[in-house]
Amino acid sequence: MPVIVQKFGGTSVGTAERIKAVARRVVETRIDGYDVVVVVSAMGHTTDELVGLASEITPMPPPRELDMLLTAGERISMALLAMAISSLGHDAVSFTGSQAGIITSSEHGRAKIIDVRAARIQEALGQGKVVIVAGFQGVSTTADVTTLGRGGSDTTAVALAAALTAESCEVYTDVDGVYTADPRIVPDARVLHAVSYEEMLEMAASGARVLQLRSVEYARNHGVLLRVRSSFNETTGTWVREEDERMEKAIISGVTHDVSEAKVTIQDVPDRPGIAARVFQRMSDEGVNVDMIVQNVSTEGTTDISFTVPREDGLRAKASIDAELREIGAAGVTYDEGIGKVSLVGAGMKSHPGVAATMFGALADAGVNIEMISTSSIRISCVVREADVVKAVRAVHDRFRLSDEVILRESHPGPA
Ligand code: ASP
Ligand code: MG
C-alpha cells in the first residue's frame, strides 16, 4: 500500500473536538487505501505555555530539562489522537520521537535529524495500524531526548516521508496553503497552487511562517513532495515540489515580510583589510545570526557597515561591537529596532529582467524609502521602516498583480 504522511499543527489538534475531526480525516485516508503515518504538534499553545512555565522557575532552564519538558506537549496530542482513531474502530499506535527511530544530533533545542530508523513504524504499518508520531523531537546519539527547534514537527513529518518513501507529505494547518502575501495584510492575496522548493525556501527564510525552513531544505534534499493545506476544509492547498517551466512563467510567486530583525550600524569604520572579518567573527562567536550586510563605498578612508540581526540578539550584538569599537577604530555604533523587511520571491526572476526596477518603482510610488537591499537569484529584499511594511507589501503585491486569478491559474495548474 502507498504510504502517506499527514502532519497536523497545533490549531488542528487544539481541542478534543479538533482531535476527533483529525481522526476522521486520517481514517478516510486509510479507507482510501493508504498506510498512514501521522505527525502531531502539541495542542494549541502548549509549547509556549511550557516555555513560560519553565521561565517562571528559572530564567535559564538547563537545555536538557527544557527539552524533556517541551516534548511532553506532543506526547499528549499523540496519545489522544490514537484514542480517537481507535474509537472509530481502526487500529492505531503512538510513538515518541525516540520510539519512532528519529535519531538526532545532541544540541538541545535545535537538534538536527541525522538518521531515521523506521523499522518499528514499518512493522506497525505492516500490522495494519495507523502510526502516530510525536513531532519536533528525537533522541540523540548519546541517548538524550532532543527537540528540533520551534516549528520542528514539519521536519519530523518530512523526514519520515523521506525514510518511508511516502507518496507525499501533507502539512495540515489553519490556513488554506501558501499565499501570495499574508492575507491579514493583503485581503485579496491568493493561495498558490504550486511553488518550487527554492521559492518556498526563500519565502520561509524571509518571513512566511507556514513551514519550518529546515523542513523545506530536507524536502528538497530528499525530493519529498509536500503539500500545505487546511485541516478545516477540503481545499487542495499548495504543492511544494521541483520547479517546472510553469512556475518560471509566473515570474513572481509572492511577497513576504519580516519584522523580527533589527539593524546595527557601525559608523566611520576605517577602510582596510580585516575589519569586516573581525566584526563578523565576533558575531559568530556570540552565536548571532547575521542576515543582510551592507557596506558603503568609502569616502576619505572610512565607511559605514550596516547589518541586520534577530531582535532577540540585537542588544547583545550592539554591546559586543561597542566593546570592540576602539580596536576596530570606528566612531560609534547605532541600533535600530524600527525596521522591517519586505521580500519579493519568484522563480522567473532569473530569466526576466526589470523585476527589481518594478519593485523599487512600486515602493517609490507608495512613498516608502528603501534603507538596505539584498538579492538572491530568485529574491529581492528591501529593508524599510517598520511602520511602512504594510504599505510596502500592498504596493508590491499590487504592482505585480498577484491577486489576479487568471495569471495564477494559467501558470500554476498544480502537479501534472
Ligand atoms: N510544538 C512545537 C512548537 O510549537 C513544534 C511544532 O509545533 O512544530 O514549536
Ligand atoms: Mg508550524
pLDDT reported for residue 409: 46
Probe residue for ligand 1, chosen from 41, 76, 231 as the CB with the greatest number of ligand atoms within 8 Å: 41
What atom of ligand 1 comes closest to residue 148's alpha carbon? 5
CA–CA dist 337, 228 (Å, integer):
32
Let me know: does 79 contact 38? Beta carbons within 8 Å.
Answer: no
What atom of ligand 1 comes closest to residue 152's alpha carbon? 8
Largest Cα separation within the chain, whole Å, is 78
What atom of ligand 1 comes closest to residue 136's alpha carbon? 5
Probe residue for ligand 1, chosen from 13, 47, 66, 214 as the CB with the greatest number of ligand atoms within 8 Å: 47
What atom of ligand 1 comes closest to residue 150's alpha carbon? 9
What atom of ligand 1 comes closest to residue 9's alpha carbon? 7
Beta bridge partners, 158, equal: none
Let me know: does 374 contact 342? Beta carbons within 8 Å.
Answer: no
| Separation of CA 343 and ligand 2 centre (Å) | 21
CA–CA dist 283, 218 (Å, integer):
27
Count CB neighbours of 355 within 10 A. 19
Q: Which long-range contacts (CB under 8 A, 24 or more apart) does 362-369 make?
A: 362/395, 362/396, 362/398, 362/399, 362/400, 363/392, 363/395, 363/396, 365/395, 366/391, 366/392, 366/394, 366/395, 367/391, 368/392, 368/395
H/E stretch holding 280 reads helix 275-285
Let me know: does 46 contact 146? Beta carbons within 8 Å.
Answer: no
Full-prediction pTM beyond 0.75?
Answer: yes
- What does the block give as the cell for 139? 533522541
Q: Which residues contact 62 (CB under 8 A, 6 or more apart)?
A: none
Let me know: does 306 contact 334? Beta carbons within 8 Å.
Answer: no
CA–CA dist 51, 61 (Å, integer):
9
| Atom 5, ligand 1: residue with shortest CA distance | 151
Count CB neighbours of 353 within 10 A. 7
| Atom 9, ligand 1: residue with shortest CA distance | 150
Ordered DSSP codes for 246-257: HHHHT---EEEE
Radius of gyration of the chain from Cα atoms? 23
pLDDT reported for residue 411: 54
| Separation of CA 247 and ligand 1 centre (Å) | 30
Ligand 1 site residues, Cβ closer than 6 angstroms? 9-10, 41-42, 47, 73, 135-136, 150-154
CA 389, 393, 394, 396 dihedral sign is positive
CA–CA dist 323, 20 (Å, integer):
56
Nearest bound ligand to the CA of residue 75: 1
pLDDT reported for residue 408: 53
Question: What is the dihedral angle through the alpha carbons of 327, 329, 331, 332, rounded to the nearest 10 degrees?
Answer: -30
Per-residue pLDDT of the chain (416 residues; tens, 9 = 90+): 999 999 999 999 999 999 999 999 999 999 999 999 999 999 999 999 999 999 999 999 999 999 999 999 999 999 999 999 999 999 999 999 999 999 999 999 999 999 999 999 999 999 999 999 999 999 999 999 999 999 999 999 999 999 999 999 999 999 999 999 999 999 999 999 999 999 999 999 999 999 999 999 999 999 999 999 999 999 999 999 998 877 777 889 999 999 999 999 999 999 888 988 999 999 999 989 999 999 888 778 899 999 999 999 999 999 999 998 888 899 999 999 999 999 999 999 988 889 999 999 999 999 999 999 999 999 999 999 999 999 999 999 999 999 986 555 455 544 44
Q: Mark the residues whose beta carbon lies below 5 A from ion ligand 2.
A: 9, 151
| Separation of CA 10 and ligand 1 centre (Å) | 7
Beta bridge partners, 216, equal: none
| Separation of CA 152 and ligand 2 centre (Å) | 7
CA–CA dist 32, 63 (Å, integer):
43
| Separation of CA 67 and ligand 1 centre (Å) | 12
CA–CA dist 388, 365 (Å, integer):
13
CA 338, 214, 148, 230 dihedral sign is positive
Probe residue for ligand 1, chosen from 75, 77, 146, 153 as the CB with the greatest number of ligand atoms within 8 Å: 153
What atom of ligand 1 comes closest to residue 48's alpha carbon? 4
| Separation of CA 11 and ligand 2 centre (Å) | 9
